[in-house]
Copies of this chain bind each other. A is one copy, B any other.
Amino acid sequence: MFDSTRTLYDKPRTVCDCLYPGEVTGKQFTSVWTRDPRPAKSPGRSRDEIVRAAVELLDAEGLEGLSMRKLGARLGTGATSIYWYVANKDELLELAYDDFWGEITLPEPTAQTWQQTVAAAAHGMRRLILRHPWSGELIGRMPSLGPNALAFAAVLRRTFKLAGFAGLEIDYANTTLTAYVFGMTIPELAWNKSKADGGYDPDTMREAVTKATAGIPELTESIHNSWDLDPDQVREMAFSFGLGAVLDGLEARLVT
């Protein structure tokens, strides 16, 4: 990790005065969210514009398709101009990732039962992730401390609190739910990706899986069970099944 953060700002802003001097404990935690953006006075580009273009590029070409040079080209500037607005590529990705979170429709906790609210949020998350597959590759790479991610977490937390959870269990319920959604959706991305990258049709994929699992009776049986079902439908059903299980399990923890 390099340390260009100190050269980024011409003048320190008041909120973050305490950032750069050597501290007792060690380095300051580095993240876009612990720092102020550039003022962005007048003409030129803006962070917003850059992030929006980055998300477009990510949607179109995936995480590996995003490079500073390509992004610069899309913006009609040199690649290195971007570094005026953003310390490095990782920060840009943090920004893009929070932009992703901003797209989710926040559930309204009081309108329905908590199960309905949570289920709606879960399905919304899944659809959002499938719409922006690159998000799945970012989850394990950086903590999400952006305002949009936090806003969503807050609403979900409130929902669980209203449901009757208390203390640490509010957070346990929260992380359990989002863990389920991510864990269920991310492997879908891998399949979609290899399908898209290779341009395979479903039959080719099915054949590959059949071949790989040949000789393992449990798994050939599994494939046989869903042989003539639409893969997308199976995934939806699987998602709903597991979501129901998670909600039931949480409810059981509520009454005891």
Measured CA separation A219–B33 after assembly (Å): 16
Given contacts A136-B140, A187-B139, A190-B141, contact A225 B171 (CB under 8 A): yes
**A28 interface contact, C-beta 8 A:** yes
Find out whether the CB atom of A203 lies under 8 angstroms from the CB atom of B25: yes
Q: What is the number of residues of chain A that contact chain B, defined by CB distance less than 8 Å?
A: 91
Find out whether the CB atom of B170 lies under 8 angstroms from the CB atom of A222: yes
Contact of A187 among B137, B143, B194 (CB under 8 A): B143
Identify the A interface with B (CB < 8 A).
1, 15-16, 23, 25-31, 33-34, 133, 136-137, 139-145, 150-151, 153-155, 157-158, 161, 167-173, 175-176, 178-184, 186-187, 189-191, 193-194, 197-201, 203-205, 207-209, 211-219, 222, 225-226, 234, 237-238, 241-242, 244-250, 252-253
Q: Is the interface of A mostly helix, strand, loop or mixed?
A: helix
Measured CA separation A63–B46 after assembly (Å): 32
Given contacts A1-B197, A16-B211, A187-B143, contact A168 B225 (CB under 8 A): yes
- Shortest CB–CB separation between residue A230 and chain B, in angstroms? 13
Measured CA separation A187–B182 after assembly (Å): 10
Given contacts A27-B204, A208-B29, A222-B170, contact A245 B253 (CB under 8 A): yes
Find out whether the CB atom of A218 lies under 8 angstroms from the CB atom of B249: no
Which of A27, A33, A183, A189 has the largest count of B CB atoms less than 10 A from its CB?
A183
